[in-house]
Amino acid sequence: MFTHLLLLVALALPGFDDFRRMDRERRQTGQLQTAASLALTRVAPELIAQTVKAHPADPLIVWGAAELTPTWPEQRAWFESALRVSGTNPVVALRFAIAAAVRGEEDIPVRAGDAANVVPWLLELQRRQRHHESLESWRPPATATRYDDGVGGAIRARIAALEAAGYSAYAARRLGFADDHRVLGLWRDLARSSLPEQGRTFVLAAARAMQEAPLLITELVGSDIERTILGQSEADTRRQAIRQLIAAMDAIVDQATETEMIDYFNDVLTFGEETALRRLQTTVQRRLAN
């Protein structure tokens, strides 16, 4: 229900027919895309697989393949390869565990790694809840106050794999910014389940940590989870402000050039989504005024 709220992926979520329609409209107006950027408008798993075979020792490209592959057996194999070539990178390991949880797999170990990160503990809570296990021995550290699901690194990996496969800089970013709505859905479903007080308290703390994340979709889901647990939230005003910002940006995106959109995607990774949106707005308005 939240995917339509994330401006980052507004161009990446529609079906292929919608892609072609939007691409045609922008091509006719000379906006956003070039012929080269239109050559590839969706992820081609076969092309990604060929790219990994050409770069088997590049951990970022192999990780990107794992993030982009839609079917679990192949995705699992790429994640295992990415772990080997990256020297068991803890962020890759976390993304692997998250992907497994989304698929309902139980045999991927969850390593806390960063004691301040709530995500590994959310995964463990989700697993225990699924199996109706007691939380008596479940003790998240008091330092677990930061939400980091590794999506920033995952986006960079997707872009690296797509660019190595021949996608243009713009297409690689448009497709590489696919949102993690299934990941966020895990926590939303967890909040709606029947949790004991200890679990509800931790999920509420995690939801508040999510509202400090750089992507607006994560912030919105965090506030939704808070509302689910508490019944109401002081975040309502902020939620409305985010919705208004995204709605106001629709026209700006339609008028942005491809180069401006590339800068925007890069800014999201550097400054966070809200700052990137406002920078894009300023850039486009200044160009149109001249």
> What are the pLDDT digits (tens) for 72-125?
999 999 999 999 999 889 999 999 999 999 988 877 777 666 789 999 999 999
Residue whose token pair is 């939801």? 207
Cα–Cα separations (whole angstroms), residue 136 to 116, 132, 196, 201, 225: 21, 12, 10, 14, 23
Instruction: Based on the fold, state whether residues 72 and 207 are members of the same structural domain.
Output: yes
**Predicted confidence band at 246 (pLDDT cuts at 50, 70, 90)?**
confident
Task: Report the C-alpha gap between 220 and 210 in whole angstroms.
Answer: 8
| Cβ(172)–Cβ(163) below 8 Å | yes
Backbone phi, psi, residue 146, to 5°: -120, 135
Q: Residue range 147-173: average pLDDT?
A: 93
User: Is residue 150 a part of any domain in this protein?
Assistant: yes
Which tokens belong to 75? Answer: 């995705």
277 with 157, same domain: the answer is no
d(CA 207, CA 73): 31
- Residue 289 counted as domain residue: yes
Report residue 140's pLDDT band, with 50, 70 and 90 as the boundaries: confident
Looking at the fold, whether 251 and 203 belong to one and the same domain comes out as no
206 shares a domain with 70: yes
CA pair distance 189, 7, nearest whole angstrom: 23
Lowest mean pLDDT among 12-26, 191-205, 238-252: 12-26
Does some domain include residue 16?
A: no
CA distance 218 to 122: 15
Sign of CA dihedral 140, 142, 147, 153: negative
- Scored b (16 or more CB within 10 A) or e, 210-243 reads bbebbbbbbbbbbbbbbbbbeeebebeeebeebe
Tokens of 137: 């021995």
Shared domain for 254 and 162, answered yes or no, is no
Residue 283: inside a domain? yes
Domain that holds residue 277: 234-290
Residue 6 lies in a domain: no
Domain count, the chain: 2
Phi, psi angle pair for 117, to nearest 5°: -85, 125
Q: Where are the alpha helices (DSSP H) in the chain?
A: 16-29, 35-38, 45-54, 59-68, 72-85, 90-103, 119-130, 151-164, 169-176, 181-192, 197-210, 216-230, 236-255, 258-271, 273-289
Pair 260, 280: CB distance under 8 Å? yes
Q: Is residue 86 in some structural domain?
A: yes
- The answer to whether residues 55 and 62 touch, using CB atoms and an 8 Å cutoff, is yes
* Residue 87 sits in the same domain as residue 143: yes
Shared domain for 173 and 100, answered yes or no, is: yes
Same domain, 170 and 284: no
* pTM of the predicted model as reported, rounded to 2 decimal places: 0.77
Burial of 261 (0-12, 13-18, 19+ CB in 10 A): buried
Same domain, 285 and 173: no
* Category of 269 on φ-ψ map: left (φ > 0), alpha (ψ -120 to 50) or beta: alpha
Domain shared by 201 and 245, yes or no: no
Could you tell me which residue, 6 or 220, shows the higher pLDDT? 220
Q: What is the mean pLDDT of the chain?
A: 82
- Give per-residue pLDDT as tens, 21-33: 444 454 444 445 4
